[in-house]
Amino acid sequence: MTSLSPPKETFLADYRVPDYLIDTVHLHFELGASDTHVRSVLSMRKNHQGLGGDCVLDGEHLELLSVKVDGQQLQGNEYQRTDKSLILSDLPDKFELEIETRIEPDKNTALEGLYHSGSLLCTQCEAEGFRRITYYLDRPDVMAVFTVSIVADKEQWPIMLANGNMEDQGQFDDGRHWTRWHDPHPKPSYLFALVAGDLYRQQDHFTTMSGREVSLQVYVDHENSHKCDHALTSLKQSMLWDEETYGREYDLDVFMIVAVNDFNMGAMENKGLNIFNSSCVLASPETATDADYHRIQGIVGHEYFHNWSGNRVTCRDWFQLSLKEGFTVLRDQQFSAAMNSEAVQRIDDVNQLRTMQFAEDAGPMAHPVRPASFIEISNFYTVTIYEKGAEVVGMIKTIVGDEGFRKGTDLYFDRHDGQAVTTDDFIKAIEDANDIALGQFKLWYSQAGTPELKLRGHYDVINHTYSLHVEQSCPQTPDELDKQAFHIPLAVGLLDEQGLPLLLQLEGEERAYKDFTRVLTLNESSQTFTFINIESEPVPSLLRGFSAPVKLDIPRSNTELEFLMANDSDSFNRWDAGQTLLINTLLALVNNVQLQQPLNIHKGLIEQFSTLLTSRKMDPALVAKMLTLPSENYLAAQMTVADVDAIHAARQFLKNSLARGLKQEFSDVYKQQNSTGKYQFNSDDMAKRSLKNLCLSYLVATDDPMQTQRCLKQMKQSDNMTDTISGLVALANQVGPEGEHALRAFYEQWKDDRLVVDKWLTVQAQSSLPDTLIRIKGLMKHPAFNIKNPNNVRALIGQFCRNNPINFHAKDGSGYQFLVEQIIILNKLNPQVASRMLGAFNSWRQYDASRQELMKKALNDIASQKDLSPDVYEVVTKYLAD
């Protein structure tokens, strides 16, 4: 063994095909929490397209017991080892390689490979965890057929699962039992999974479109046996939806989901055996909110859809991660939109993209959807790869239309089934199926940064034409200074002064376009589109449905925004006009706070929101979205120098002003929407609860003691977590004894339910009250908190650092110092989680000089640590780079 080498960068340009291939894998596990024995038998051959030479197998944190080639045991001088690999030389064209290793699952706090969680043993192999189980060609373009046998003590591990179908099982005399699983579909090692433990199983079934009977099974801890229904319902919905929408059918006899309490990610799409963070599976009305139900439905869908977009057709290398993730996120967004409200889904997706991904694209970690290099691939499971990747695939769908997109995806799945491919292969299939060229479009995969569109309209009174001039540009990113013009689909409509849609006919066209929305093709840095037969000056509705992930620069008066907010037929743009109005108002208030001038808002705004609140025509969920103020983080991103204190003060002022100005309306709507029926998860009820609880949050801002009573009453009478937690959040952000009482009572009631306790941690982590950091430090010593559990870390530390700007960015730097201390601990325990937490410093250069100085010092403190993991090293180095 050699010592640890410094982190090394990997480049897409250096990709070459594997020198060896693996046809079949037989894995044999003798399980123990502290000592697991793994025997791997690989039937291997030289890849004639490769360069030949040594066979370099990946392996980390393994104790090597023996290596055999074609049955011959190799001596220590017949192979080489480093801390990351096992190297074999002088191999025949075809051979059988047998490797025995020993691993220690209970010492694995990184939660990659095989690890111990509660009373379970489970795996997480994406991206490079399989190499912590045995030596292997641990890369996605090596696909093999796996057979897995597991032996363990029956009492301790009564359930033993792996990918595929169970072939056989039996028992030994000594109290141990065994199972054997076979997955007929060749797969890369990152999709391998194994679970063992004492679990409750809930079953259902699904008949596929060709008549295959599939057993559906959800495995959870026994105490959670009443929380599986929603996941199973969501799974059946996903299976049916994917057949109807993409023509994709399931391909094994069983589909399993296992809930695990200690998990770095949300969930993992291992073939036939999905492993989920328990927070993304378990739901009951009393313990899960509407948002949880909605998220679970989307994630169950997402992982299920990967069976085709990811498993049957996988990625050639990790630079292609968005091939499976961008496409699958788009699929889960479509699915969630179909199951719930399409308009609300789009608003939520765009809101997340703008808040998180735009910040990433403007920061030191900016990278293209298909990155050109990485040090640690775990750092690239980002909002850019996932959410922007989904927008990119969504734009392709907009460009070729729904039918064309389906033709393209059908060809993609047919052509590449069983292969490991690239984003270029995906584009090629769409091009071939639609007979179009997307060469320029591919820049979306290789250029980082958020494009900006400068739009200027001009109405010609004499010729009755309206011309729209568009200039596109893209800011520099650390990887690239010069950007080429993108191919951008810009969906537009025009409204007359009554708010009615106008026919859209471009100069040179014989007749008007069939719809009131049309997609303009932007492909040059500067273009002008002229609409004819426009009788009076129109109001343009631009980037309808957020047709491209870009920023708009367009001068608009408040009157024009109010007009769009009231009249635009595109619900996304109605919401967006309202948000822009709020952002303009808030930024003006921020300015007044900074100049120490009196604060006020124009009356028109209150009237607008009053109309909105009392309108019975609109979906209550949409009304709630429109009345939700932009977050402090999003506002910070709109300023050249983010002023944390002024933003907080301005936002509080606006919230209080709206609350006081519309108190009666909020109170009336609260009563109207407060249904007394039993909890159900459906769009209508969810919409009502969202508007009701939004009203409650405003009512509490009036400082009327009656409203505190209303919160307490809501908590007391609630039969569901959505209403309970809304009451608790409102109380916990108030000064006074009620909040303390409510928090204490809530904990007493739920202390045995870890997912609910995570919510209790989050409510406190997000509190804007001034003593929050002291409270958090106290909570870290509370029995409810364990730093080895990623959900705990995200609920407390993550929420404080990312979603509590006023306290995290405290002037004295105490928030930064706190995060540094946690990252140093986590770097050793769980590098992936440590690196995620570091993300709170992403926008550090956007703050004032003294905060920048404090954050720079914090980053330097981390950078100067010895033994930094590659995960943390890569991010901290990029943050500090000039």
**Helix/strand/coil for 700:** helix
Q: How far, in Å, CA of 88 to CA of 76, rounded?
A: 11
Name the minimum Å distance from CB 310 to Zn ion: 7
Whether residue 459 contacts residue 358, with contact meaning beta carbons closer than 8 Å, is answered with: no
Other beta carbons within 10 Å of 569 = 15
Local structure of residue 598 (DSSP, 8 states):
P
Name the minimum Å distance from CB 487 to Zn ion: 26
Nearer to Zn ion, 302 or 710 (CB): 302
Query: What are the φ/ψ torsions at residue 26 (nearest 5 degrees)?
Result: -115, 115
Name the minimum Å distance from CB 391 to Zn ion: 16
Name the minimum Å distance from CB 661 to Zn ion: 44
Nearer to Zn ion, 185 or 692 (CB): 185
Nearer to Zn ion, 275 or 492 (CB): 275
Nearer to Zn ion, 142 or 321 (CB): 321
Whether residue 163 contacts residue 148, with contact meaning beta carbons closer than 8 Å, is answered with: yes
As given in the structure block, the two tokens for residue 625 are 């979205």
Nearer to Zn ion, 328 or 707 (CB): 328
As given in the structure block, the two tokens for residue 631 are 């977050």
As given in the structure block, the two tokens for residue 34 are 């502290």
Other beta carbons within 10 Å of 376 = 22
Name the minimum Å distance from CB 533 to Zn ion: 47
Nearer to Zn ion, 252 or 268 (CB): 268
Give Cβ neighbours of residue 369 (< 8 Å, ≥ 6 apart).
322, 326, 384, 385, 388, 389, 392, 423, 444, 445
Of 388, 390, 377, give the one whose Cα is nearest residue 449.
388
Annotate each residue in 297-336 with x if it binds Zn ion (CB under 5 A) or - if it does not, as one string. Answer: ----------------------------x--x--------
Q: How far, in Å, CA of 862 to CA of 840, rounded?
A: 14
Nearer to Zn ion, 230 or 324 (CB): 324
As given in the structure block, the two tokens for residue 619 are 């979906």
Q: How far, in Å, CA of 366 to CA of 371, rounded?
A: 9
Q: How far, in Å, CA of 243 to CA of 255, rounded?
A: 16
Q: How far, in Å, CA of 687 to CA of 676, rounded?
A: 14
**Helix/strand/coil for 721:** helix
Q: How far, in Å, CA of 275 to CA of 270, rounded?
A: 7
Q: How far, in Å, CA of 11 to CA of 15, rounded?
A: 7
DSSP codes of every residue in 304-372: HHTTTBTTTBEESSGGGHHHHHHHHHHHHHHHHHHHS-HHHHHHHHHHHIIIIIHHHHTSTT---SS-S
Nearer to Zn ion, 126 or 262 (CB): 126
Which 792-831 positions form the footprint of Zn ion (CB under 5 A)? none
Q: How far, in Å, CA of 16 to CA of 571, rounded?
A: 47
Nearer to Zn ion, 293 or 304 (CB): 304
Nearer to Zn ion, 382 or 697 (CB): 382
Name the minimum Å distance from CB 306 to Zn ion: 6
Query: What are the φ/ψ torsions at residue 448 (nearest 5 degrees)?
Result: -85, 170
Give Cβ neighbours of residue 691 (< 8 Å, ≥ 6 apart).
620, 621, 623, 624, 669, 673
Name the minimum Å distance from CB 266 to Zn ion: 8
Give the Å distances, CA to CA, from 196 to 61, 147, 162, 380, 777: 21, 16, 9, 30, 35
Name the minimum Å distance from CB 329 to Zn ion: 7
Choice among 126, 128, 303, 391 that is catalytic: 303
Q: How far, in Å, CA of 734 to CA of 709, rounded?
A: 13
Rg for the chain, CA atoms, rounded: 28
Name the minimum Å distance from CB 608 to Zn ion: 40
Name the minimum Å distance from CB 125 to Zn ion: 14
Name the minimum Å distance from CB 366 to Zn ion: 22
**Annotation says 213 is catalytic:** no
Whether residue 797 contacts residue 837, with contact meaning beta carbons closer than 8 Å, is answered with: yes
Nearer to Zn ion, 303 or 570 (CB): 303
Q: How far, in Å, CA of 882 to CA of 880, rounded?
A: 6
Of 800, 750, 799, give the one whose Cα is nearest residue 774.
800
Angle among Cα 768, 770, 771 to the nearest 5 degrees reads 110
Of 355, 257, 357, 249, give the one whose Cα is nearest residue 308.
249
Name the minimum Å distance from CB 112 to Zn ion: 17
Using CB under 5 A, count the residues that bind Zn ion.
2
Annotate each residue in 690-729 with x if it binds Zn ion (CB under 5 A) or - if it does not, as one string. Answer: ----------------------------------------
Backbone dihedral region of 52: left (phi > 0), alpha (psi from -120 to 50 degrees) or beta? left
Nearer to Zn ion, 270 or 585 (CB): 270
Query: Residues with catalytic annotation?
Result: 303
Residue ranges binding Zn ion (CB under 5 A)? 325, 328
